């Protein structure tokens, strides 16, 4: 049976021509498809960003950036406009190649050699600011589509979901606080609910690391509180990195805060520590 599975796996991989075409095959040498289980977190770290620099026409958007995220950690990244926060996420997710430096997922997976699809497949989910949900479809159908779009799932678009997949949708609906809206068209959700639905869609592929860029922009205070609770619930079983401008929100999450400035880390610590840091006061928080 095992042999048969291996053969099937090989055939499946062989069909993924973009892996082959891009020159480097990060799966080579493993003898099997990389999956989330393969990320080596034996040193307790899920993400290593080391000495990373990125230049755009001579301007250094990231300048010798160093950042370490622990397995299961919830981390907030703050910093003034143009500090490099989104560029950092672009580098982690394979959208932008660093000019220098290393970016590793766990100890063993070199993210700088992967494209965006491959990065998603090893277990890194990214939520962009603008929700990318299907407005005409119901909340349930959006989550169903998220499963079917996940390349690793062996489900065709027409196939019925398995019992465990249906159960997973129920769990995610609970988690994102939308069990009563399951049949509602996504376009009828509030702004905050749309953001949660998109987080739910990312959760369907069960990422090990979730990157979230400015999740609470435009949310009501009540929605912000709910979002803080959701992100706290997600941490632990996975790692979550949140970029956010809203200081009240960052404080309510009560995680370690990293302050970026001009492409490098200016300060790191609790919200109180960074808010009382003189350099941070000078460049960012004022007063
Ligand atoms: N593709 C690009 N081409 C040229 N310059 C870029 C590009 N992407 C980012 N930059 C520049 O790099 C710097 C960092 O941008 P980035 O978007 O990472 O900042 P940010 O910290 O996310 O800011 P914000 O808080 O406004 O979202 C900015 O000066 C930006 O103009
Ligand atoms: Mg940004």
Higher pLDDT, 198 or 29: 198
Residue 8 has pLDDT above 90, yes or no: no
- pLDDT single digits (tens) 66-77: 999 999 999 999
* Alpha-carbon span 179 to 176, nearest angstrom: 8
Are 208 and 47 contacting, i.e. CB atoms less than 8 angstroms apart? no
Residue nearest to atom 4 of ligand 1 (CA): 56
Q: What percent of the chain has pLDDT over 70?
A: 83
Residue nearest to atom 24 of ligand 1 (CA): 81
- pLDDT single digits (tens) 76-105: 999 999 999 999 999 999 999 999 999 999
Residue 127 has pLDDT above 50, yes or no: yes
Nearest to 130 by CA among 214, 9, 40: 214
Of 49, 53, 57, 61, which is best to mutate to test ligand 1, by the most ligand atoms within 8 angstroms of its C-beta?
61
H-state helical runs in 111-183: 116-121, 139-149, 163-175
Q: Which of 3-7, 37-41, 217-221, 240-244 has the lowest mean pLDDT?
A: 3-7
Give 238's DSSP letter: B
Banded model confidence at residue 156, pLDDT cuts 50, 70, 90: low
How far is ligand 1, taken at its centre, from the CA of residue 81, in Å?
Answer: 8
* Alpha-carbon span 195 to 200, nearest angstrom: 9
CA 194 from chain centre, in angstroms, equals 17
How far is ligand 1, taken at its centre, from the CA of residue 60, in Å?
Answer: 10
The pTM for the full model equals: 0.85
Residue spans per domain, the chain: 1-33, 134-193
Higher pLDDT, 255 or 92: 92
Of 85, 242, 284, which is best to mutate to test ligand 1, by the most ligand atoms within 8 angstroms of its C-beta?
85
- Residue 100 tokens read as 């220098």
Cβ of 82 below 6 Å from ligand 1: yes
CA 143 from chain centre, in angstroms, equals 17
User: Which residue(s) pair with 265 in the sheet?
Assistant: 260
Which whole number is the average pLDDT over 138-144?
A: 96
* Alpha-carbon span 166 to 187, nearest angstrom: 22
């Amino acid at each position: 049976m095992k042999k048969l599975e291996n053969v099937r796996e090989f055939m499946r991989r062989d069909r993924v021509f973009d892996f082959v075409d891009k020159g480097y095959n990060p799966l080579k040498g493993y003898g099997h498809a990389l999956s989330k289980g393969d990320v080596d977190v034996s040193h307790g770290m899920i993400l290593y960003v080391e000495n990373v620099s990125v230049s755009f026409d001579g301007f250094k958007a990231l300048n010798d950036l160093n950042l370490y995220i622990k397995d299961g950690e919830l981390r907030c990244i703050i910093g003034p406009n143009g500090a490099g926060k989104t560029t950092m996420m672009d580098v982690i997710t394979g959208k932008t190649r660093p000019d220098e430096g290393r970016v590793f997922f766990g100890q063993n997976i070199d993210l700088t050699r992967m494209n965006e699809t491959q990065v998603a497949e090893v277990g890194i989910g990214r939520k962009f600011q603008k929700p990318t949900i299907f407005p005409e479809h119901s909340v349930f159908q959006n989550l169903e589509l998220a499963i079917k779009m996940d390349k690793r799932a062996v489900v065709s678009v027409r196939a019925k979901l398995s019992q465990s997949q249906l159960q997973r949708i129920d769990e995610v609906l609970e988690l994102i606080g939308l069990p009563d809206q399951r049949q509602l068209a996504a376009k009828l959700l509030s702004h905050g609910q749309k953001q949660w639905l998109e987080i739910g869609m990312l959760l369907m592929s069960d990422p090990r690391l979730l990157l979230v860029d400015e999740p609470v922009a435009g949310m009501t205070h009540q929605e912000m509180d709910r979002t803080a609770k959701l992100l706290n619930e997600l941490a632990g079983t996975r790692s979550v990195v949140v970029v956010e401008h809203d200081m009240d929100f960052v404080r309510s999450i009560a995680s370690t805060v990293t302050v970026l400035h001009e492409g490098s880390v200016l300060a790191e610590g609790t919200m109180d520590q960074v808010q009382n840091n003189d350099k941070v006061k000078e460049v960012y928080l004022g007063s």
